[in-house]
Amino acid sequence: MADEGQGKSDNLILDELTDQLDRTFRLLRGDADEAADLAFARVRIDTTAEARLLSELAERAPLEHPDRFTDAHRLAMHALEVLDRDGWRHPRLPRLGPLHAPAEWAVEFVAQYVVRSYVSDVVRNLARLYARRESQCESDSPERRVLARARIQADRLALGFRGGASGLPTVLIGGAAIPVLASLARQFGAVKPGEPVFIGGGSVLVVLFAVLAFVLLQGAGLARRRVLVVGRQPMEALYETIGHCGRPPEDDADTIALVAIGLTAVTWFILPVVLVTLAAIFRG
């Protein structure tokens, strides 16, 4: 019975898979395209993308550079602290006279939202990544100990980094609502086209739209520059020491700017036409 049990254990799928992944890893140290043709005929791998996926699976070390991981982790945490505290302050704006102070506050408001959202996303992603790599370590390995400490720190930090200022959606909704209210007022007779009040009100709305676009673009640009200068390289260094974990998270400065400008532009040009058309239909 003992011999029979030993014979069964000699033919485990785990042993075959381990040997296969070892061969994959050795071949993919060279040309991944050539390896896709040579190494995976037995398992029917047809594309380079699948070859690269198996290459990552074959790399079983939880940390690529365990001796440098702690230093890279500390540097990344310090960069996130600096970004969260000061990465959205002191934008460089043109001379605006008495409007400089409120413009600076508005730009910082948008930049704060983008920067702190980025910091929050990074911390949450690191906590998940550390937990996954910790689960891949042997129970008594040095890598498990350093990853456990880093994971505990990231979990604690996630409680303090809660994302950007919650008031930015209110600003966007308010900017989008202004032309809607003006269109409704015109349709219900509050303001008639051609009157001075209508012309003045339209000019005010154009100025408000221009100010909103300026603030959003300046704030998103400021956030992007600060993330690149302060956070990008420390995060890339950390991901390099971890190894085989993709790219660090990106900030959403482009998304904030494009969505905000697009939403306001759509509201300005599409909704008034829709309201006018509906009013004409109902009156007819």
pTM for this model (two decimals): 0.72
Cβ pair 220, 111 in contact under 8 A = yes
The candidate with the shortest Cα–Cα distance to 136, out of 60, 82, 73, is: 60
At residue 216, the pLDDT reads 85
At residue 278, the pLDDT reads 56
Question: Which secondary-structure segment (H or E) carries 147?
Answer: helix 142-160
Q: What does residue 119 show for φ and ψ, rounded to 5 degrees?
A: -60, -45
Question: In the numeric block, which tokens belong to residue 259?
Answer: 């969505």
**Alpha-carbon gap, residue 123 to 68, rounded angstroms:** 19
| 182-190 LR contacts (CB < 8 Å, sep 24+) | 182/272, 183/271, 183/272, 183/275, 183/276, 184/275, 187/275, 187/276, 187/279
At residue 255, the pLDDT reads 79
At residue 173, the pLDDT reads 45
At residue 246, the pLDDT reads 87
Within the chain, which residues score under 70 in pLDDT?
Answer: 1-11, 13-14, 17-18, 20-47, 162-206, 259-260, 263-264, 266-268, 270-284
**Alpha-carbon gap, residue 267 to 105, rounded angstroms:** 25
- For 23, 87, 164, 275, the CA distances from 109, given in Å and listed in that order, are 53, 12, 9, 33
At residue 146, the pLDDT reads 95
At residue 222, the pLDDT reads 93
At residue 254, the pLDDT reads 83
At residue 188, the pLDDT reads 45
